[in-house]
């Protein structure tokens, strides 16, 4: 999956967000980490790497090492076979 530029403000104002959140489909930590990564890229335009990490650490009340991990550690993502899940769901719904 490619990294997409997201306008977080647009997403946060989307009325469907609350529904998705209430259903447990929103990973708050992943959203926070995306915001931190975006902020880091902006800060790097005017600050050193270490200053940028320190500023984010202070802003988000996270340890320096935590911010460092968010920015530089590559995460493996679980794949979601949505089409297969929907097909299985539809089959089970029609058999009820």
Task: Decide if 34 contacts 8 (C-beta within 8 A).
Answer: yes
pTM above 0.75, yes or no: no
> What token pair was written down for 13?
């104002």
- Tell me the pLDDT band of 42, cut-offs 50, 70 and 90: very high
pLDDT per position as a tens digit, 25-39: 888 888 899 899 999
Q: Cβ contacts of residue 68 below 8 Å, gap of 6+?
A: 53
Q: What is the pLDDT of residue 44?
A: 97
- Model confidence at 1, pLDDT cuts 50, 70, 90, reads very low
Q: Is the pLDDT assigned to residue 46 strictly greater than 70?
A: yes
What is the chain's mean pLDDT, rounded? 84
- Written as six digits, the tokens of 29 are 């930590």
Q: Tell me 47's DSSP state.
A: S
Query: Is residue 40 within 8 Å of 71, Cβ to Cβ?
Result: yes
Q: What is the DSSP letter of 7?
A: -
Mean pLDDT on 52-58: 98
Q: Are 68 and 50 in contact (CB under 8 A)?
A: no
């Amino acid at each position: 999956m490619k990294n997409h530029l997201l306008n977080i403000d647009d997403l946060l104002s989307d009325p469907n967000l609350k529904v998705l959140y209430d259903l447990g489909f929103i990973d708050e930590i992943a959203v926070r980490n995306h915001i931190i990564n975006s902020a880091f890229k902006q800060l790097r335009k005017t600050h050193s790497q270490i200053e940028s990490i320190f500023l984010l650490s202070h802003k988000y009340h996270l340890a320096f090492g935590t911010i460092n991990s968010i920015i530089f550690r590559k995460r493996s993502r679980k794949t979601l076979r949505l089409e297969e899940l929907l097909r299985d769901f539809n089959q089970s719904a029609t058999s009820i």
